[in-house]
Amino acid sequence: MKLRAQQLSQTSNALVVSDQHPANGTPAVMVNQLGLVKVPNPSTSNNMDNDSEDQRLPQVNGLLSKVDADLDNVLLGTLTIEGPHSSLVQHESNSDLGLGGIAVESSALVPVDVQANAVQPIGNIAERFHSLCLKDSGVLYEDPYIQIGLKAEWRAHQGRAVLFLGNKNTSPLVSVQAIILPPTHLKMELSLVPETIPPRAQVQCPLEVVNLLPSRDVAVLDFSYKFGNDMVNFKLQLPAVLNKFLQPISLSAEDFFPQWRSLSGPPLKLQEVVRGVKPLPLLEMANLFDSYSLTVSPGLDPNPNNLVASATFCSESTRAMLCLLRIETDPADRTQLRMTVASGDPTLTFELKEFIKEKLVSIPTATKKPPQASSTPPPPDQQASDPAALTDPGAMLAALL
């Protein structure tokens, strides 16, 4: 009894992470994966859609509406008209989901206690995150003591990444701890992180990622370490974002139009008028979509002011599912456009529409960073002989150390 009383009196330091409920709810409609269908009559390629029985005007940002099915109809004059609210689809905002569901547009650095961190990061954390959303190798975080690099490879609904933890100083980093806080749609497993990183040493920590279902929620890395008397703790968004599970695909008119017509309206086809768009020439907008693995097919839309794009999204729940996109622009006002997104899964359609809207309204621009005195550049001969050191995080850390 005495031993039992001692056991009960002891406190536990274990960290318990409970399961989270899906942020976006269970889709009301489940549709099987789309397959490509050939059109028997090629003459239909001049008509994106002739069926206009359920046409309604789109609504402003964040509100869903019936979809205008006539792609030949130029609606530039009606972009300023707001339609009635739709009750067909209801979705919760992803911005109030806590650590498991931090929106992409929020700050990539979320300090636990700003006053407790005497160590300040080097460079712009948000810019580093946005950069890694578009590429698979680079620096995620850096301060005077440590540099965290990331290198990833994505295939279908799975990803394999490596975190490179580099101690930049001649004293060890102790009490090192790394905890992954995944959203409900991602299954993530980080290998063991050593409690001590020796001086001028680099540690590699593999990270496995599995995408379960469509979502824009972002995983978070909760990282802490101690250097001398400085205890540093920060939270970083990890670039395991929606576009990492998109695969570009180019469609012909015979493949595109039957799929577009088969998705007649909400919740599989959603349309929205987006205002506050950063003005872009059509070519630059096409390049933006291409950077997020959405392939633009020139000539499919008869209106030269519009864009049509497609991609395949991969997750455990949807498998490989075709996604279709149409952008209608107004040459007289590039700050607004009409966007239509379609897929065979209602959750995927909504999440992809919101994801693209975020990119059009808030386009991140990388700024040239001044050289940091605390970072030691690699020798000139190494820079010239090893071009991979400029982009590969492992090479960058090796050069640094």
Residues 58-90 have pLDDT tens digits of 444 443 334 444 444 332 333 332 333 333 333
Phi, psi of 271 (to 5 degrees): -135, 145
Report, as an integer, the average pLDDT of 217-245: 95
Q: How far apart are CA 81 and CA 327, in angstroms?
A: 17
Residues 349-368 have pLDDT tens digits of 999 999 999 999 876 544 44
Q: Report the candidate in 119, 153, 115, 156 with the shortest Cα–Cα distance to residue 136.
A: 153
Mean pLDDT estimate for the chain:
74
- Secondary structure (3-state) at 105: coil
**HSE of 148, CA atoms in CB hemisphere, 13 A:** 26
One-letter identity of residue 369: K
pLDDT for the residue numbered 85:
37
Residues 128-165 have pLDDT tens digits of 999 999 999 999 999 999 999 999 999 999 999 999 99
Q: How far apart are CA 337 and CA 346, in angstroms?
A: 22
Annotation: CATH topology of 42-93+244-361: TATA-Binding Protein (3.30.310)
Task: Indicate the length of the chain as a whole number.
Answer: 401
Among all chains, which residue has been given the structure tokens 């709810």? 25
User: Domain spanning 105-240: which CATH class is it, in words?
Assistant: mainly beta
**HSE of 197, CA atoms in CB hemisphere, 13 A:** 28
Q: Which two tokens stand for residue 261?
A: 């017509």
With a CB cutoff of 8 Å and minimum separation 6, the contacts of 54 are: 66, 67, 69, 264, 265
Q: How far apart are CA 196 and CA 268, in angstroms?
A: 50
pLDDT for the residue numbered 26:
41
One-letter identity of residue 46: N
- Secondary structure (3-state) at 192: coil
Q: How far apart are CA 114 and CA 102, in angstroms?
A: 18
Residue 36 contacts residue 250 (beta carbons within 8 Å): no
What is the rounded end-to-end Cα distance, in angstroms, of the chain?
56
Report, as an integer, the average pLDDT of 176-205: 95
- Secondary structure (3-state) at 180: strand
DSSP code of 197? B
pLDDT for the residue numbered 364:
53
Phi, psi of 324 (to 5 degrees): -120, 145
With a CB cutoff of 8 Å and minimum separation 6, the contacts of 88 are: 64, 66, 266, 267
Angle between helices 346-361 and 282-291 (to 10 degrees): 130
Q: Where exactly are the structural domains of the chain? A: 42-93+244-361, 105-240
pLDDT for the residue numbered 118:
81
Asked whether the domain spanning 105-240 has the same topology as the one spanning 42-93+244-361, the reply is: no
One-letter-per-residue 3-state SS of 245-289: HEEECCCCHHHHHHHHHHCCCCCCEEEEEEECCCCCCHHHHHHHH
pLDDT for the residue numbered 373:
43
Phi, psi of 151 (to 5 degrees): -135, 130
* pLDDT above 70 as % of the chain: 61
Q: Which two tokens stand for residue 226?
A: 């101690």
pLDDT band at 394 (very low <50, low <70, confident <90, very high): low
Residues 15-34 have pLDDT tens digits of 334 344 444 444 444 444 44
Q: Which two tokens stand for residue 288?
A: 């933006």
Residues 326-342 have pLDDT tens digits of 999 998 898 999 999 99
Q: How far apart are CA 287 and CA 294, in angstroms?
A: 9
One-letter identity of residue 69: A
